[in-house]
Amino acid sequence: MPYINIRLAGELTREQKKQIVEEMTSTMERIAGKPREYVIVNFDETREENWGWGGQLLDEL
């Protein structure tokens, strides 16, 4: 059972998530031969102030 975890700073819209889930599922089905019903996609959205990059918080860059 493929489990795909997408971590990102900020948020995606519901429509963006739907499109990503469809495309990631199709890719696993096409390339890895995994059945669509077994593919799990999870989004971890974190506010930009909770990410540091190069000594600064991401929301300050």
Return the amino acid letter for 35: P
Predicted local confidence at residue 11, as pLDDT: 95
Token pair in block for residue 10 = 């900020």
Predicted local confidence at residue 48, as pLDDT: 95
CATH number at residue 14: 3.30.429.10
What is the per-residue pLDDT across 2-20, written as a single tens digit (0 to 9) for each?
999 999 999 999 999 999 9
Predicted local confidence at residue 22, as pLDDT: 98
Instruction: Tell me the pTM.
Output: 0.86
Q: Which residues contact 59 (CB under 8 A, 6 or more apart)?
A: 47, 48, 49
Range of the domain at 52: 3-60
What is the per-residue pLDDT across 35-58, written as a single tens digit (0 to 9) for each?
999 999 999 999 999 999 999 999
What value does the mean pLDDT take over residues 19-42? Answer: 98
**How many domains does the chain fold into?**
1
- Radius of gyration of the chain measured on its C-alpha atoms: 15
